[in-house]
Amino acid sequence: MRLYTNEIVFRGHPDKVCDQISDALLDAYLKEDKHSRCGIEVMGGKGKIFITGEVTSKVDVDVESIVKRVLDSVGYDTNYEIINNLGKQSPDIDMGTNDEVGGAGDQGMMFGYAVNDTKELLPTAMVILQRFSKWYDKERLNCSYLRSDGKAEITGYYDDNMKLKRIKYFTISYQNDEEHRDYTDNLIKEACINICKDYDIEIEEFLINPTGRFEIGGFEGDSGLTGRKIVVDSYQSFCKVGGGAFSGKDPTKVDRSATYKARLIAKDYLKKYNLSWCEVVISYAIGIDKPLSIYIDSDKGYIEPDESLYIECTPKNIIKDLDLLNICYEEKARFGHFQD
């Protein structure tokens, strides 16, 4: 047996709030102008929300109202000073990524992953944490003792095939009023135990608020930044990650769109070749439409990619095939971009 740890942050974690603001703004631009080019970054902390990055669009959106709506939805104060520092996309980038050329909006490596552990084709511990974070987000609306901020991690025992057998530590740091800790701790423990029962997984020990107290959180206790949780957003450390974040970026940015495509390829190859796990890596050069390389690894070793994948993985084809101009990106930013 070996020990391995994965992590998630709650929807109300400051970094995740910034991700949601970035994607809510992206959604607003794409709703009115499908040709919008966006790279929106958000930083929050100590009474201020700072929005910067690049937007080229035919429409203007009410940035302040969107920011306040997201803050309210996660249980935050909406009386923050909102500083809008958005500029326009560089024409140097547009030369290679406009609709006529259709080149990749960035360069780098994008990873996709699938494993046969669960019906979602995701690692068991990852699914448990996603379910728990969704439960917590709903429960805080019903329980006034719970606050928005928090994170959780699982340290589990794994066999030689990296299958989760038992949880050694279920660690949860959650913001609360600190006056009803016995009640809220037990509420959380019960939820975790019930979720883990669905996977026949036992928990040896809970570590809940290991510092002893977590009353001050959110932008008062911490700062937040778009894209600082790329491991949580992807596969919680079970798979390699590229260097690019997702949120705030329109789908011409292959950091986002090609990572979504790589996940679908991994799922398809997992089923096609009856694999235990599959990892897909797609690399691009900015301004060029076809990938430079597609590498597929698995428990059965390297698999030669179908040549047709190079055509499928141009930004234009990915956007069309996955209908990426007509989805809600804000929803994806809440609990991780890969949930099924």
Domains of the chain: residue spans and CATH: 2-9+124-219 (3.30.300.10), 108-117+232-243+251-335 (3.30.300.10)
Q: Residue 75 in contact with residue 50, Cβ under 8 Å?
A: no
φ/ψ of 146, rounded to 5, equals -90, 145
Helix 14-32 and helix 63-73, axial crossing angle in degrees, nearest 10: 140
At residue 103, the pLDDT reads 78
> Is 96 a residue whose pLDDT tops 50?
no
pLDDT band at 243 (very low <50, low <70, confident <90, very high): confident
The angle at the Cα of 19, spanning 102 to 115, to the nearest 5 degrees, equals: 75
Give pLDDT, residue 106: 83
Q: What percent of the chain has pLDDT over 90?
A: 92
What is the C-alpha separation between 68 and 141, in angstroms, rounded?
18
Asked whether the beta carbons of 125 and 156 are under 8 A apart, the reply is yes
**Cβ atoms within 10 Å of 83's Cβ, excluding its own:** 12
Mutual angle of helices 181-197 and 124-142, in 10-degree steps: 140
Q: Are 168 and 3 in contact (CB under 8 A)?
A: yes
Higher-pLDDT residue of 41, 106: 41
Mean pLDDT for all residues in the chain:
95
**Single pTM value for the model:** 0.95
Model confidence band, residue 90 (pLDDT cutoffs 50, 70, 90): low
Looking at residue 93, what is its pLDDT? 58
Mean pLDDT in residue range 317-323: 97
Identify the sign of the CA torsion 317, 318, 323, 328.
Answer: negative
- Distance (Å, rounded) from C-alpha 120 to C-alpha 316? 27
Q: Which range, of 3-17, 101-115, 215-229, 299-313, averages the lowest pLDDT? A: 101-115
Q: In terms of Cα–Cα distance, which of 133, 129, 216 is closest to 176?
A: 216
- Largest separation between any pair of C-alpha atoms in the chain: 61
Residue 3: alpha-carbon gap to chain centroid: 24
pLDDT score of 323 more than 90: yes
